[in-house]
A and B are shown apart, each in its own frame.
Chain A
Amino acid sequence: MDATLAPHRLDALSAGARPRADARRWGRWALNGAAALSLGFILLPLLLVTWLAFFRQEIPSFPPEGYSVRWFGAVANNKIFVNGFLLSLQVGIAATLIGLALAVPASLAIARRRFFGREPINTLLLMPLVVPGVVLGTAIYVFQIETEIATGLPVLGSTAGLVAAHALIVIPWAVRLVTASFAGFDPTIEEAAKNLGAPPFTTFRRVTLPAIRPGIVAAALFGFVMSFGNLEMSLFLVGAGRTTLPIAILQYLEWKIDPTVAAVSVLQIVLIGAAMIVTDRYVKISQVV
């Protein structure tokens, strides 16, 4: 049929279709261009800070006088950055473990059971995400001081106090991601396991847990990253001379910017990028964010 169309009819057809096809092609170019600009804008600060980390001279002036990797060595000799990194790592791991231990059972109940107060409890568990970091920091600061007065224990500025506060911001992420991972899970599979004689714990371990594992892995990544990078809340809770890495970077930058702090930033970018790539092997990041 197409092949038998007279030439003049083909012309008439394409003449009508061409402006629309052109408009769509231009539209697509404009769209891709705008998208590339936005992505570039998001990535630009990371690229700039990485560039600075390899400057030879200390002052961030352009064009650079040459390139060097010596600033990465300077980071290793900087006690504040090294200790900050170790504290952030410690707090991040502990807070993630505590947060998951509390949030995974709660998510199980919220996703699978119908009980009185389910909705309000769900809202409460997500609340630490909604309360502004600065407000959260001030509130926990006064709470820890009141606790110190009441119990005589040194809470404020201690690692335990910091971990307790960080677990609070891990919980909402874990609840969100783990309850979401129940969405595609068919409860009749659990019933089948039980009908085949599996005890409840075996059913959980062999059937339920594998099904929600992607959600738990994603929750561990997000929880750790949110704790590791937390700034606003931690600012109120760290002790004198004991700061987390983000606070160490912030306080350094308030004073000056140079390739040393840029090198620390690059190390942080690399660490988090690596954590994302490892996690991505277990659960596609694009499917959980």
Chain B
Amino acid sequence: MSVLSPSMGTRRRSPSFGAAGLVAPATIYVGVGLLIPLAILFRYSLNRFVPGQFMVDALTLENYVKFFTDTYYTGVLWRTVRVAIVTTAFCVVMGFPLAYVLARTRSRYKNLLIMLVVLPLFVGNAVRAAGWMVAFGNRGLVNASLVGAGLIQQPIEIMFTETAVIVGIIAVNLPFMVLTLQSVIEGIDRAVEEAAFNLGASPIHMARRVLLPLAMPGILAGTILTFILAMNAYATPVLLGGPRFQMMGPLVYNQFVQQNNWPFGGAIAFILMIATLVLTLASSLLVQSRYRHAAG
């Protein structure tokens, strides 16, 4: 009987201690290495910081209260959210055409093109910020070109502005968006696009009524990913924004390492994580309910 139905063999329950032995090392490693540190950090965020005495054991919410009652800190949070929303919107608009072309191309250079998208993602944020510093400086490429063309007399201020940071973050996050969208578009049958065209749809019509609804799960996944990355950006705001343009990531580092204020630094870290999580959940619920509305 068992010879005739090989599936019987695969369905045989393996001894569960076998599975436990395989997953236990990694599970313990991540549990100890991630969850315990987060728990300690949260506990620290409830302590009190006394200048001169460093950290004093306490059970207080005053670090969180301090953050939300000081307009400087709420300003940093608001600026971070704003930059994250703007950069994510640009990533969707700029990423979709590239993802579509990469998904649909039959070119033999497809693999090369995808590697060109992955390479910048791999070389790290500091290197890419360096590239923008070449362009944005007072005597950088942009200003030299504009002055050379006679369009401006004095170099314009680009480095250490919000614009520089936004451009930098878009370039950092765009590959993530493109790769996410590309894999989803590849899963959409080309025949449905042809059907729309054969029924007389214009390309814009087809994209809006057929392609975008079908690609919505990918757009959502890419949006969430790039939004999280933008909220937590570190190297780009530090290098292109300078010390006066504060975002949440550098703020955590400053409080922790430079001010040595661990309780407050811990609180900011948790506020950043919770804010990212809440905004991500809210946007995905919003999109999902609208999507269901449109489909129903």
Question: Smallest CB–CB gap between B18 and chain A, Å?
Answer: 7
Cα A189 to Cα B125 in complex, Å, equals 44
Question: Smallest CB–CB gap between B50 and chain A, Å?
Answer: 18
Is B94 in contact with chain A by the CB < 8 A criterion? yes
| Residues of A with C-beta under 8 A to B222 | none
| Residues of B with C-beta under 8 A to A24 | 197, 203
Is A94 in contact with chain B by the CB < 8 A criterion? no
B134 and A257 contacting across the interface, CB-CB below 8 Å: yes
Is A127 in contact with chain B by the CB < 8 A criterion? yes
| Residues of B with C-beta under 8 A to A232 | 232, 234-235, 249
Cα A34 to Cα B99 in complex, Å, equals 11
B253 and A134 contacting across the interface, CB-CB below 8 Å: yes
Give per-residue flags for B30-41: 1 if the beta carbon is below 8 A from chain A beta carbons, else 0: 110111111011
A140 and B27 contacting across the interface, CB-CB below 8 Å: no
Question: Smallest CB–CB gap between B57 and chain A, Å?
Answer: 14
| Residues of B with C-beta under 8 A to A103 | 26
B37 and A38 contacting across the interface, CB-CB below 8 Å: no
Cα A137 to Cα B34 in complex, Å, equals 10
Minimal Cβ-Cβ distance residue in B for A221: B122
Question: Smallest CB–CB gap between B230 and chain A, Å?
Answer: 11
| Residues of A with C-beta under 8 A to B126 | 231, 246, 249-250, 253
Q: A134-B269, A286-B111 known; A109 and B124 CB under 8 Å?
A: no
Q: A134-B253, A268-B124 known; A286 and B101 CB under 8 Å?
A: no
Is B231 in contact with chain A by the CB < 8 A criterion? yes
The DSSP consensus for interface residues of chain B is helix
Minimal Cβ-Cβ distance residue in A for B13: A114
B175 and A231 contacting across the interface, CB-CB below 8 Å: no
Which of A39, A135, A268 sits near B117, CB closer than 8 Å?
A39
| Residues of A with C-beta under 8 A to B9 | 191, 194-195
B179 and A249 contacting across the interface, CB-CB below 8 Å: no
B127 and A135 contacting across the interface, CB-CB below 8 Å: no
| Residues of B with C-beta under 8 A to A45 | 120, 127-132, 135, 171
Cα A53 to Cα B200 in complex, Å, equals 53
B119 and A272 contacting across the interface, CB-CB below 8 Å: yes
Cα A273 to Cα B119 in complex, Å, equals 7
| Residues of B with C-beta under 8 A to A60 | 133-134, 137, 139-140
Cα A59 to Cα B9 in complex, Å, equals 70
| Residues of A with C-beta under 8 A to B272 | 132, 134-135
The DSSP consensus for interface residues of chain A is helix
Interface size of A by CB at 8 A reads 98
A280 and B130 contacting across the interface, CB-CB below 8 Å: no
A34 and B98 contacting across the interface, CB-CB below 8 Å: yes
Question: Smallest CB–CB gap between B26 and chain A, Å?
Answer: 4
Is A157 in contact with chain B by the CB < 8 A criterion? no
| Residues of A with C-beta under 8 A to B238 | 250, 254
| Residues of B with C-beta under 8 A to A44 | 131, 135, 171
Cα A109 to Cα B23 in complex, Å, equals 6
Minimal Cβ-Cβ distance residue in B for A116: B16
Cα A23 to Cα B178 in complex, Å, equals 25
Q: A60-B134, A103-B26 known; A268 and B273 CB under 8 Å?
A: no
Q: A39-B98, A48-B141, A276-B122 known; A257 and B231 CB under 8 Å?
A: no
Is B69 in contact with chain A by the CB < 8 A criterion? no
Give per-residue flags for B16-57: 1 if the beta carbon is below 8 A from chain A beta carbons, else 0: 101111110111011101111110110010000000000000
Is B14 in contact with chain A by the CB < 8 A criterion? yes
A31 and B122 contacting across the interface, CB-CB below 8 Å: no
Q: Could you list 14 further interchain pairs (A-B, Cβ under 8 angstroms) beyond the known A44-B171, A121-B27, A143-B37?
A: A23-B203, A34-B94, A42-B171, A45-B127, A46-B127, A102-B26, A127-B34, A135-B232, A139-B37, A188-B6, A191-B6, A194-B9, A261-B130, A289-B114
Q: Residues on B close to A: CB < 8 A?
A: 6-7, 9-10, 13-14, 16, 18-23, 25-27, 29-31, 33-38, 40-41, 44, 94-95, 97-98, 100-102, 110-111, 113-120, 122-135, 137, 139-141, 144-145, 170-171, 174-175, 178-179, 183, 197, 200, 202-204, 228, 231-232, 234-235, 238-239, 249, 252-253, 256-257, 262, 265-266, 269-270, 272-273, 276
Q: Residues on A close to B: CB < 8 A?
A: 20, 23-24, 26-28, 31-32, 34-35, 37-39, 41-49, 51-52, 59-63, 102-103, 105-106, 108-110, 113-116, 121, 124-125, 127-128, 130-143, 146, 164-165, 167-168, 171, 175, 187-188, 191-192, 194-195, 225, 229, 231-232, 235-236, 246, 249-250, 253-254, 257, 261-262, 265, 268-269, 272-273, 276-277, 280, 284-286, 289
Chosen A-B contacts, 24 in total, with CB atoms closer than 8 Å, are A23-B202, A31-B97, A41-B170, A42-B175, A42-B178, A43-B116, A48-B132, A49-B130, A60-B139, A61-B139, A102-B25, A105-B25, A113-B16, A132-B273, A135-B252, A138-B266, A138-B269, A139-B34, A141-B256, A229-B122, A229-B124, A250-B126, A257-B137, A272-B123
